[in-house]
Chains A and B, each alone.
Chain A
Amino acid sequence: MSFEVRELVKSYGEKTVVNGLSFKMDGPGVYALLGTNGAGKTTSIRMILGMLKRDSGEVLWNGAEMQPEKMNIGYLAEERGLYPKYTLLDQLLYFAKLKGVGKTKAMEKIKYWSKRLQLDEYIFPPKNAKGRPVKSMRAEQLSKGNQQKVQLMAALLSDPEFVILDEPMSGLDPVNTDLFKEVIRDEISKDKYVIMSSHQMPTIEEFCTDIIIMNRGNVVLQGNLNEIKKSYGRVNLYVKCEQPIDKFIEEAGLTIIEETPAETQLRVTGEEQAMAFLNLLLANKITVIRFDLREPSLHEIFVEKVGAGNEE
């Protein structure tokens, strides 16, 4: 099975919000869509899902035009939504029904996920003091984080083959972030096709094999994350010494990226320049506590490509 997006274009009047987006997944995996606010990520996802008409381009599933309503797709939208006045159980059963999941199977799934996401006390509240059953809570009675968990549950109820997660972890506390990560990791391990959009670079680095960075509708960087990093080389040098090293940095002609009490981050051209700098420090009897040469982080690549001014 394969999933492919070819030259997607979307314009509103004179403004092109997505300009020639293309990528391909030859097998299960996680593809990341990165970009600043307004870069065109959500518009691209909506076009992939057929919610927005595209001006041109193709979305293919196994080589044929993708028909989302006929597929089993799990979607966690950036614009989170639940019916505030309806009970959680009613709406989860409704979402499952729309995905073609029968009531019995849906109940099984809801029970499983409510336990896993620690929502059973809201969806299946215990009987009251008089021993009478209590109705499932309404969405408006839940905290934002718990509502987000219900939405993740709605996206995964039908055990979808194709999962799209738009900013899945935004607004979650650390405990729930870990819970979400665990669930996402499980979904990935089931050999699913996952597209994830996020502003949280560490999350993307943790899950995604391939990335696309978008800026104002255009693709500015695309490919396998490891290869992209490799192509940049190990140019980030993190140094911590007991004595001041400012004059040696100047002498070696290095650029300071960031200076904190814990360390100084320098930009080098490669291993050779880094080794020359180390020798310079040692020759001047500087006590080196930390000397760490690394590839640039995704965060740095993103900022470089998109511009620090655009980053959240």
Chain B
Amino acid sequence: MKSSELRGTGSVFRFTLIQTVKSKAYIVSAVILLVLSLLVAPVLQLINGGSGEKKVESSNIETVYICNGLSFVSKGTDITDLSGMNAFSGVKFEELELKLPEGIESMSIEEISEAINKADRENYEKISKELEDKGSECKDAILHAYLDDERGIVVEIVRVAGSEVGDDECQELLERICANLDDYKVKISGLSEEELTLLGYNYTVEMNYLGEDGSISAAVDTGIGGKQFGVAYAIMFIVAMICIMSGTQVATAVVTDKSSRVVELLLTSVRPMALLLGKILAMLVATIGQYVILFAAVVISNKLTGVIFHTETSYLSSIIPKGILSNITIGNGLIVLALVALGLVFYATLAGLCGAMVSKMEELQDTLKYFTFASMIGMYMAIFAIVSMQKSSTSAFVRFCEVFPMTSPMTTPGARIVGVVPLSYALIAIALLVVLDFLTLRFAAGVYEGLITNMGTRLKPGDVIAMARNKKNKGGTK
């Protein structure tokens, strides 16, 4: 490719970008996206009843009655220690004594357990009745702790329906009690906190092979978890949307040049390659810009929601899995950006090619279907790949989609972020995209050049391919 082929790309890029950003359609859609993004966090917060982590300023709870079905939840341990929680300074704890039958010492373990449960149930029923009788004026609550075969240790707070004791204060109190319980576990186990944390971890089992080059490959494949799937799917969806949006805009810009007949004037100064590339880059920046605005607005909205609703974390933050994005390092960020950018260039070039095949705006839909078809194939294959990653992240189909240029821009970024794509596959995907982008751009520019002054009927893909072949065979002079 000669440098003169690209002369003027910058001017085309700037002009197209400025005019796109100044257009009413762009401004209106950006404003709508901005408003929606700003509203998403507060609306979710309101819909979900402010179920984020709210910081309680003062508690209405007066007395907490402890129904202690477990021996370690009792006064005299640190379970009810609320030091540092000024809002709860007025809360009193009262442990209900378990009335155990006489001669318990001679009972078997099963009988003792049954007796404790029975006494606990009686205590719970009795205090519940008392609180109920007080009605909605009652500001007391019951802390009930018991062991459930399926759910483990259950710690619940019960209060009278309609009482002034709110969800937020109950939530904060429960969290503190559970934290105290963890401390208690440490204390009675004689282990350090780190040792206890280690004990709490689950096992993930892998059997790997060591390759000659020192690389490690998995012998037994484990699929991705639900949270990883969610992140990979969301990223795939966003990339696909940007591809489709920017592609459509590129095609529209190409047809605008032809339908407005400006293209002949432009071609006296710039080559078709520069015209096409300038437009593609401008539309990519414009579309990505909209998504950056959207993302920034969501972040700002999320922060503001925390302030407005007095919560430490909003509902939105609470639904984003913590720690799932820990793979976002500078290196991975660059890999992901490269994959996305190269993928967008590929799809935008395809769309530009569709735009070059027609002369009038009203004909664009006829050829844009080829672009839509190609992007849908890419998107559905990426969806299948990410779905099948849940079962196996190393299957042949998944690996194919991770490197195949039509699917890699949608599949690999998210999968890399959640840590299932090896570096070598990501680099192969990038290399293949670079080669394909170069070839597609050259082909599209060649066809664009051949069709740019064609103001006749729209062409079909067969005509375009035949035209490209003829050019190759004839070797025409510029």
Contact = CB atoms under 8 A, between A and B. Distances in A.
Same complex for A and B? Answer: yes
A83 B474 contact: no
Interface in A37-63: 46, 49-57
B264 A81 contact: yes
Contacts of B476: 53-55
B261 A79 contact: yes
Contacts of A97: 11, 15
A81 B471 contact: no
B265 A154 contact: yes
A75 interface: yes
B453 A69 contact: no
B271 A69 contact: yes
B265 A151 contact: yes
B265 A95 contact: yes
Contacts of A95: 265-266, 269
A86 B19 contact: yes
Which of A74, A79, A155: most chain B CB closer than 10 A? A79
A56 B477 contact: yes
Which of B268, B270, B471, B474: most chain A CB closer than 10 A? B268
Nearest to A93: B15
Nearest to A84: B260
Contacts of B15: 90, 94, 97
Contacts of A57: 477
Given A53-B478, A56-B477, A69-B270, A81 B265 contact: yes
Contact of A81 (B8, B23, B261): B261
B326 to A, nearest CB: 46
A236 to B, nearest CB: 39
B85 interface: no
Contacts of A52: 453
Contacts of A51: 264, 267, 449, 452-453
B260 A81 contact: yes
B7 interface: yes
A83 B265 contact: no
Given A77-B265, A82-B262, A98-B269, A54 B4 contact: no
Interface residues of A, number: 36
A140 to B, nearest CB: 10
A97 B269 CA distance: 10
Interface string B463-478: 0000000010010111
B223 interface: no
A160 to B, nearest CB: 9
A85 interface: yes
Contacts of A94: 11, 15
Contact of B268 (A55, A68, A84, A85): A68
A91 B8 CA distance: 15
A99 interface: yes
B450 interface: yes
A98 B262 contact: no
Contacts of B264: 46, 51, 75, 77, 79, 81
A70 B266 CA distance: 13
A86 B260 CA distance: 11
A74 B450 CA distance: 22
A49 B477 contact: no
Contacts of A86: 19
A280 B435 CA distance: 86
Nearest to A56: B477
B2 to A, nearest CB: 10
B478 A83 contact: no
Interface of A: 46, 49-57, 67-70, 73-75, 77, 79-86, 90-91, 94-95, 97-99, 151, 154-155
24 contacts: A50-B478, A51-B264, A51-B267, A51-B449, A52-B453, A54-B477, A55-B477, A57-B477, A68-B268, A69-B271, A73-B268, A74-B268, A75-B268, A77-B264, A81-B260, A81-B263, A81-B264, A82-B260, A83-B260, A90-B15, A90-B18, A95-B265, A99-B269, A151-B265
Interface of B: 4, 7-8, 11-12, 15, 18-19, 23, 256, 260-271, 449-450, 452-453, 455, 471, 474, 476-478
List of 8 A-B pairs having minimum Cβ-Cβ separation, nearest first? A81-B261, A98-B269, A53-B476, A77-B264, A81-B262, A79-B261, A94-B15, A75-B268
